[in-house]
Chains A and B, each alone.
Chain A
């Protein structure tokens, strides 16, 4: 291990301090029960202030983020997060708010601004995506999924439709979908993808029946493709008595161009930390608001922010059919606030250009890599493109090796080995915030790697060489995790 990853405990010297304190001038508390005392003093770092500063500054320079590097991690929409949002979120009136304040007597009057932010963001999302209402409560994408399928379960239960236990999930859906459905008590069945990358309609028809609770469709799907039959899929599910759930993690591709509610979806979650540009990937918590059509509104979680006739805002809890609390307080408020700032700064026209540029960037990469890499579903893609390292695999260079080689070239690796239906998959999502120059640098690196795969496989097998540690033993870490030390 190099010096860069030395622990702070291994630095400094016994007795070294960051500051000098005066001698203790109060009596030592020695009536503390013996059994509660530790046997030996705690092992704390003994470093000077400068050593501590250098240590953490060095670590921060090893950090890999969208502020420093291109980050085309497919399905994650690692777009740039404008600093203006941070400024808004750090305004004293927002940052210093206590979450219990609106529930205290007269607290509502003191928190009108914050309640307005939740309410207005909810209204904007409903309008943009074509739903009756949103709940802003879910704290992450998968939490939104779980909330969404719980709403579907509540809907069927309320109608006395007890046999609807099967949730259909295409094999091009996000991996969290079956987990969310199973957690909500559904049995899951897989719907295969046809040769064009769409839902196999014939198999779907054969799976639909009185047991169908619904379908969870990732739209666009994880191949980065928009299924032209989406409307028909929703209609077929509806005809069978089921509901359609839209996993909106890939919303970046279609935002402002099509409203999922208009396609026939009954419920959808969006990821504010993807499409709506709030920090994530270690940079902050997420938020997964869930939108519903009219027939699911009674089941939405509490609390809900409503607007009174006099224009003021208040929290409402009295919804007898609600699935209840799914999160403390009102969701990740500071995340909602950043998303609200994003929506207002972009406006209606700006929001449409987000999707257009995200799709343009992904297709540019797909088209330029097509000769050197296999593109399994070679058609117009949406916000991300899925390529395969199958050509390189013949030289024993795999998706993993290409990903590691990209690190040496200054790029975050794309998502690997996903979706599962593509062998040696590399899923590249550039997002709209990258310039053509940056995309060209990435493409050139990918083309150079493809060439190296022909001539010098070892060079790729040994990557990365520019990082403090090279390849970690992921297998051993997964088989024998040591999380307690």
Chain B
């Protein structure tokens, strides 16, 4: 089950690994994504650190770590084909995977229902 941040990142657990991406809402707001700057594998990140940059025809936005951990894997295909985020932001369009995570931080994030509510208020 995915959890979401107020900055529109999502995170999903695969065992001890956290998969990170940006929400469908965020991808829709950004429009066609033209470039993704990925983090370096092995980087330690703290919750809220900028870990990636997503550029679209409209804007360049930081992607913030929704959870603390170490970058274990990056989705390098995005460098060649950033449009994957537009076609499947919450599936094939994942950005990176983190390990050494703190499950408590995950639990603190919004579930899908709470995030949808948050979007309505926003």
Contact = CB atoms under 8 A, between A and B. Distances in A.
B59 A478 contact: no
A479 B58 contact: no
A183 interface: no
A364 interface: no
Q: Which of B35, B58, B82, B83 has the most CB of A within 10 A?
A: B58
Nearest to B122: A423
A420 B58 CA distance: 9
Contact of B83 (A416, A417, A479): A479
A303 to B, nearest CB: 36
Contacts of B59: 417-418, 420
Contact of A475 (B29, B34, B61): B34
Nearest to A478: B34
B12 interface: no
A175 B53 CA distance: 14
A437 interface: no
A474 interface: yes
B82 A417 contact: no
Interface string A195-209: 000000000000000
Interface string A389-430: 000000000000000000000000000111010010000000
A479 B32 CA distance: 10
A478 B60 CA distance: 12
Contacts of B58: 416-417
Nearest to B34: A478
Interface string A109-132: 000000000000000000000000
A474 B61 CA distance: 18
Contacts of A175: 60
Contacts of A475: 32, 34, 57, 83
A409 to B, nearest CB: 23
Contacts of A474: 32, 57
B77 to A, nearest CB: 14
Nearest to B81: A479
Interface in B40-65: 55, 57-61
A478 B82 CA distance: 11
Interface string A448-485: 00000000000000000000000000110011000000
Q: Select the residue from A416, A420, A479 with max chain B CB neighbours within 10 A.
A: A479
Contacts of B82: 479
A330 to B, nearest CB: 34
A91 B61 CA distance: 47
B44 to A, nearest CB: 16
A376 B82 CA distance: 32
A294 B83 CA distance: 51
A223 to B, nearest CB: 16
Which of A416, A420, A478: most chain B CB closer than 10 A? A478
A423 B119 CA distance: 13
A440 to B, nearest CB: 30
A420 B29 CA distance: 10
Interface string B2-21: 00000000000000000000
Interface string B86-118: 000000000000000000000000000000000
Nearest to B57: A474
Contact of A478 (B29, B35, B61): B35
A423 B83 CA distance: 22
A289 B57 CA distance: 31
Contact of B34 (A417, A418, A423, A479): A479
Contacts of A417: 58-59
Interface in A427-450: none
B9 to A, nearest CB: 16
Contacts of B29: 423
A386 B65 CA distance: 31
16 contacts: A416-B58, A417-B58, A418-B59, A420-B59, A420-B61, A423-B29, A474-B32, A475-B32, A475-B83, A478-B32, A478-B34, A478-B55, A478-B57, A479-B34, A479-B35, A479-B83
